[in-house]
Copies of this chain bind each other. A is one copy, B any other.
Amino acid sequence: MAKWLNDTGSEKDVVVSTRIRMARNLEGYRFPHGMSMEESEELTHEILNTMKNFSGNGDYRFIKMNNLSPIDKMAFIEGHVISPGLIQKPDYSSFLLRNDENVTIMINEEDHLRIQSILPGLNFQGGWELCNEIDDFLEENLDFAFHGDFGYLTCCPTNAGTGLRASVMIHIPSIVLTGYANSLVQGLNKIGLAVRGIYGEGSKAVGNLYQVSNQTTLGDKEEIIIEKLNNIIHQIIIKERTARNTLLGTKKDELEDKIFRSLGLLKHSRVMNSKEAMVHLSNLRLGREMGIIEDMEYDDITKLIIQIQPASIQKDIGEDLSKDERDIKRAELLRKRI
């Protein structure tokens, strides 16, 4: 679970993970929302056949959406391995997952193909290379829908052009605590970046976690899109670190109390819902960021944030649980691991 966290990345005191995805479509097929079952099977077959000859890094396993239990589906989403969009039409969709789980090739999400890479910390270069390797290979062997003016054609026009979305999950408790979160979000929106909660579009920011990504996919080259985002993220990193030092200088006792109270509750509670757990895990991470807590790795906290989610808890236990049962098992898991 959340195997992809076993990779490298930098700036982990602010950046939780880096995700890159490319939207691609094949000539000669209708977009997934309008295709027939036969068409979907033919498309899937063509992609799988092509991937058989892929000789790049990693082994891939093929997973059909219909072969997954509801809990398995949700657990893959909670682990950021597939997007919520992929489970909308389960008869049509499937994915290829690299064994280290850093790369997923989603078939029949909103587009025919969504190539995704995910890595811990800040790592645009690594993520870009992971996606690119697949994209280059598939482009050589498949007929991608491409237009001289509009670039890669996509189901939703907002994805046309590069088809690229680069996104970074950041943990910015000090910006939130010093009261600058709203103006930061507004500022990012103004320069064309989307800011979302931990589970993408429509999800709320919980535990001081925000996803920042490019809105525009058309006009700039891929490298430029990523470089622009990278520059902004570096500015946010500086902002967060500055806010952190301000807080350490002015509110150390209060912060220590907040952090250690969360630690105490994580270590002792018997019942805990996921929202509360997120708040305490965010405080724990804040403790690590401030050097107040030292014996916990950033990626282990990220792993816990994934593992305490509703489906992941049930997958771990191996059975369906009611909400009340989950809250008990979640507290148990947290006590064991912290």
| Chain A interface residues (CB < 8 Å from chain B) | 253-254, 256-257, 260-261, 263-271, 328, 331
User: What is the bound-complex CA distance between A256 and B335, given in angstroms?
Assistant: 14
Find chain B residues with CB under 8 A from A270 CB: 253, 256-257, 260-261
Q: Which of B261, B328, B331 contacts A265 (CB 8 A)?
A: B261
Given A253-B328, A260-B270, A261-B270, 6 other A-B residues pairs in contact with their CB atoms under 8 A: A253-B270, A257-B270, A261-B269, A264-B265, A264-B269, A265-B265
B268 touches A261 (CB 8 A): yes
Find chain B residues with CB under 8 A from A254 CB: 271
Choose among A257, A263, A267, A331 the residue with the greatest number of B CB atoms under 10 Å from its CB: A257
In this complex, what residue of B is CB-closest to A270? B257
Oligomeric state, in copies: 2
In this complex, what residue of B is CB-closest to A263? B268
User: What is the bound-complex CA distance between A233 and B135, given in angstroms?
Assistant: 80
Q: Which of B264, B267, B271 contacts A253 (CB 8 A)?
A: B271
In this complex, what residue of B is CB-closest to A262? B268
User: What is the bound-complex CA distance between A271 and B265, given in angstroms?
Assistant: 15
In this complex, what residue of B is CB-closest to A265? B264
Given contacts A253-B328, A328-B253, contact A269 B260 (CB under 8 A): yes
A-B contact pairs, 21 of them (CB 8 A): A253-B270, A253-B271, A253-B328, A256-B270, A257-B270, A257-B271, A257-B331, A260-B269, A260-B270, A261-B265, A261-B268, A263-B264, A263-B268, A264-B264, A264-B265, A264-B266, A264-B267, A264-B268, A264-B269, A265-B265, A267-B268
Find chain B residues with CB under 8 A from A266 CB: 264
User: What is the bound-complex CA distance between A263 and B270, given in angstroms?
Assistant: 12
Closest 10 pairs (CB-CB, A-B): A264-B268, A264-B264, A257-B270, A257-B271, A260-B268, A256-B270, A264-B265, A261-B269, A263-B268, A260-B270
User: What is the bound-complex CA distance between A116 and B277, given in angstroms?
Assistant: 50
Find chain B residues with CB under 8 A from A260 CB: 268-270
